[in-house]
Amino acid sequence: MVEWTDFERATIQDIFSKINYEVVGPAALSRCLVVYPWTQRYFGNFGNLYNAAAIASNPLVAKHGTTILHGLDRALKNMDNIKETYSELSVLHSEKLHVDPDNFKLLSDCLTIVLAAQMGKDFTADVQGAFQKFLSVVVSALGRQYH
């Protein structure tokens, strides 16, 4: 089981209580699609992903970005059992969506950077550490049911 310090728990809850899901989610996903263009393979039916501007203004990308970010709410509410919490989603990503689990890390990195841009000085090294630990636990749980 993952051990969380009080600082880590408080930091994660605090971050998510303050972010605007409809801004951060789309920003993270569209950034991922631009910085790591091979991730576009999973969104063939999303329409125009031709360039960064198209991606940034694509409503399907925006909607999906928000959905993904809300997916993290499950971990937020079950920090002491993230492994089990994502078991179903892990199977979905593996068997139905066929997402290379390496992509989870790419999206995590983009989310970290979007948060850093938004929080500026408040995104201290310790806050970054806590946030990245949280994301890496979710990423690990999402990759668990791949066989």
Partner 1 sequence: MSLNETDKAVVRDVWAKISKSSDAIGTDAVGRLLTVYPQSKIYFSHWADLSPGSGPVAAHGKKVMKGIGLAVSKIDNLTDGLLDLSEKHAFQMRVDPANYKLLNHCILVVIASMHPKEFTPEAHCALDKFLTALALALSEKYR
The CA-based dihedral angle spanning residues 72, 24, 34, 58, taken in that order and rounded to the nearest 10 degrees:
100
CB of 39 to partner 1, least distance (A): 12
Looking at 7, 14, 20, 35, which residue binds partner 1 (CB under 8 A)? Answer: 35
For residue 23, give every residue at least 6 positions away whose Cβ sits within 8 Å of its Cβ, in sequence order, or none: none
Question: What Å distances lie between residue 82 and 1, 19, 74, 115, 146, CA to CA?
Answer: 9, 21, 8, 22, 16
Size of the site for partner 1 (CB under 8 A): 23
Residue of the chain from 46, 123, 145, 146 that contacts partner 1 (CB under 8 A): 123
CB of 107: closest distance to partner 1 in angstroms? 13
Q: Are 89 and 142 in contact (CB under 8 A)?
A: yes
Q: How far apart are CA 47 and CA 61, in angstroms?
A: 9
What minimum distance in Å lies between the beta carbon of 28 and partner 1?
A: 10
Return the amino acid letter for 19: I
The contact pattern for partner 1, residues 50-79, with x = CB under 8 A and - = no contact, is: --x--xx-----------------------
Q: Pick the stretch among 63-71, 91-99, 114-122, 139-147 that binds partner 1 (CB under 8 A).
A: 114-122
Say if CB 86 and CB 142 are below 8 A apart.
yes
From 14-22, 42-50, 94-102, 115-123, span contacting partner 1 (CB under 8 A): 115-123
Chain residues in the site for partner 1 (CB under 8 A): 30-31, 34-35, 52, 55-56, 109, 112-114, 116-121, 123, 125-126, 128-129, 132
